[in-house]
Chain A
């Protein structure tokens, strides 16, 4: 889930398990949502996106679910691998459709 303080929430999973990272967004009028992965000291890397006219979108090993009723977004990672260890951010478009509003992130730790 999203952090309300300075410490990122951490999700610890075993290698091979499925991971679910959750995100609550703020603007019911948002039309576009995106998940990024950020490794330490690097820029965020695109994972998957979804538009408001969809409830679910699948990529390679990842699935994003959008529940507009409760303004909730989730990222599911199948068969989590050590290389998946990173901080994951959800983001929603700002009103003009250009810049993004980011959540505070969730740290995913994959243990052997």
Chain B
């Protein structure tokens, strides 16, 4: 994990509510990423940001929103428009392109 903090570790949400997942890093990496993982599945890209004040949609961006106002922070909001939000959410950071990504410990979101 080292240097990447995700909070909370577990999150419960009622249907129809928006919820924001936090991701903070002190690795001084320019790029940050959000992935979603469902049971027995690989990681799917939600959003990513190569630099402050800029971000791109991934493969499953519908129902999610992000902001990148600071280099250290890349919060993910799961909106009520996301139909199946229950999943394990992973934040990652990376330096330049074509290099490894470092993952945080994850947030497990459950919709009640």
Binding site for B on A (CB under 8 A): 3, 6-8, 31-32, 34, 36, 41-46, 49, 51, 89, 91, 93-94, 96-105
Contacting pair A43 B40 (CB below 8 A): no
Contacting pair B102 A41 (CB below 8 A): no
Bound together, the chains give a CA A101 to CA B33 distance in angstroms of 12
Which of A43, A93, A96, A103 is the one whose CB lies under 8 Å from B42?
A103
Interface range for B: 20 to 34
Bound together, the chains give a CA A103 to CA B44 distance in angstroms of 9
Bound together, the chains give a CA A91 to CA B58 distance in angstroms of 15
Report the nearest A residue to B105, measured CB to CB. Answer: A43
Contacting pair B98 A31 (CB below 8 A): yes
Contacting pair A102 B43 (CB below 8 A): yes
Contacting pair B98 A93 (CB below 8 A): yes
| Residues in A whose Cβ lies below 8 Å from that of B53 | none
Contacting pair B45 A99 (CB below 8 A): yes
Bound together, the chains give a CA A34 to CA B43 distance in angstroms of 13
Interface set, chain B 34-72, CB cutoff 8 A to A: 35, 39-45, 48, 50, 58
| Residues in B whose Cβ lies below 8 Å from that of A34 | 100-101
